[in-house]
Amino acid sequence: MQNHETVTVTKASLPELSEYEELIEKLWENRWLTNMGMYHEELKRQLKDYLSVGGIELFVNGHMALEMVLKAFELKGEVITTPFTFASTTHAIVRNGLKPVFCDIKLDDCTIDADRIERLITKDTCAIVPVHVYGNICDFEKIEAIADAYGLKVIYDAAHAFGEKVGERGVGTLGDASMFSFHATKVFNTIEGGAVTWKNAEDKELSDKLYKLKNFGITGKEAVEYVGGNAKMNEFCAAMGICNLRHVDEWIKRRKAVNDRYARNLSHTEGISFLKPREDASRNYAYMPVLFDGVRFKRNEIYEKLLSENIYSRKYFYPCVNAYDCYRDSYDPHDTETALSISERILTLPIYPELSAEDVDRICEIITG
């Protein structure tokens, strides 16, 4: 029997070590390791251009970016969001003293169902926080029309949507603001990191407030006007981001090749289906979600079968946030039936630029065998 190496669900993308060393060598010369140094500022400039956004502020991670932007808008009351997301989305809302109100999702792409949002709006609703799940862009046209009609803020969790566009429009220009994650497992990483972006380059108020909130609320040498935190990106992370940005387009091409091979192998198998992203949007192929019917193919059995072959997939997202221990006394996951059903049947398969065609074929054979 042939021995195969372990296949992980993802793998951090890195530049050549020498490329990174060349940048960080300068940090031993200037000893400026954090507090918005030269690499921090250079990465901001490069990402603003790459993401086609009007403004950007960098953070220590995506979670703090989301917490800080919610804080910056001085929101109070209820926030309509999705239960089909990572813990961070909901936790950022709750940690700002806001109440999440969960809206069900669409079956075809797992994003928030915009047709269900309006019925959840009350006099206490202040914002909508949709998620571009797996990089599938939300129905932002309907979402923002509803928000405009009711005077609500829209802050997108774009953690999965790095570099994506709808037509020629960067996804980071949607709504009032968007949050990106640059975690090690993402398509583009800064080891740890994140950003808030927005459309209007003239919106200096948001930029100024985010900058101060991530730096303890300090507004001058002897002035602290806000109760802020420490959410600054350091120079080592920024340097990694500069290196990785040089290669990310090639990595996305290679991810697409992996995605397409999975699709060729599995798309005609009864009991297995794929999500349907918007046709007018680009994709970064951050994840490889596969939906099993629960009859011919049972998700948990597939997960265990792959694991027995040292192949790591992920039940992403399971459970739904409204089924978490910390929220179960306040919410019933059966109120969002589509999200509950998908959470019990979906599996994200391994995908990263270096994943070989042979390994993809082997994974598919194990699933269907």
pLDDT for the residue 3: 65
Residue 202 lies in a domain: yes
Residue 149 lies in a domain: yes
Rounded to the nearest integer, the mean pLDDT of the chain is 97
- What would the pLDDT profile of 157-198 be if each residue is shown by its tens digit? 999 999 999 999 999 999 999 999 999 999 999 999 999 999
CA dihedral of 84, 86, 88, 90, whole degrees rounded to 10: 20
Handedness of CA 284, 286, 292, 293 (dihedral sign): negative
Count: domains in the chain: 2
Quick one: DSSP state of residue 355? Answer: -
pTM: 0.97
pLDDT for the residue 2: 57
Chain centre distance of CA 186:
8
pLDDT for the residue 68: 98
C-alpha closest to that of 94 among 59, 63, 56, 133: 63
pLDDT for the residue 4: 83
Same domain, 207 and 65: yes
Residue 137 lies in a domain: yes
Residue 218 lies in a domain: yes
Domain range for 334 is 248-368
Question: Which residues make Cβ contacts (< 8 Å) with residue 286, sequence separation at least 6?
Answer: 134, 135, 160, 161, 162, 186, 187, 255, 351
Residue 9 lies in a domain: no
Mean pLDDT by 10 residues, the chain (369 residues): 82 98 97 97 98 98 98 98 98 98 98 98 98 98 98 98 97 98 98 97 93 95 93 98 98 98 97 97 98 96 98 98 97 98 98 98 97
The strand pair at 78-81 and 125-129 is best described as: parallel
Same domain, 190 and 327: no
Max Cα distance, the chain (Å): 69
Looking at 198, 223, 245, which one is the last position of a domain? Answer: 245
Angle formed at CA 130 by CA 125 and CA 132, multiple of 5 degrees: 175
234, 33 in Cβ contact below 8 A? yes
pLDDT for the residue 1: 41
The strand pair at 125-129 and 194-198 is best described as: unpaired
The count of other CB atoms within 10 Å of the CB of residue 182 is 30
Phi, psi dihedral angles at 233 (to 5 degrees)? -80, 135
